[in-house]
């Protein structure tokens, strides 16, 4: 049987949109993520929590 690397997917809500209102856990998840997928409704300031080497994917 082939070993398959399994990852995790977290959904972090943007709430009312203010970056200073993100939960502690939401900020931790973004800081640990290899890849962040966000839509145009998310406040761009939330991406400041993401790692500088994280892949950021914007979806319409």
* pLDDT in the model for residue 26: 93
pTM: 0.80
pLDDT value for 1:
65
pLDDT of residue 40: 86
According to the model, what pLDDT value does residue 5 have? 82
Q: For each of the chain's 60 residues, which pLDDT tens digit applies? A: 677 888 899 999 888 878 899 999 999 999 999 999 999 888 999 999 999 999 999 998
CA separation for the pair 19, 6 (Å, rounded): 30
- CA separation for the pair 60, 52 (Å, rounded): 22
- Extents of the domains making up the chain: 19-51
């Amino acid at each position: 049987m082939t070993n398959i690397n399994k990852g995790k997917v977290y959904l972090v809500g943007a709430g009312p949109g203010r970056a200073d209102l993100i939960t502690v856990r939401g900020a931790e998840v973004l800081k640990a993520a290899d890849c962040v997928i966000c839509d145009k409704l998310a406040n761009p300031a939330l991406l400041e929590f993401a790692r500088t080497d994280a892949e950021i994917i914007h979806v319409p």
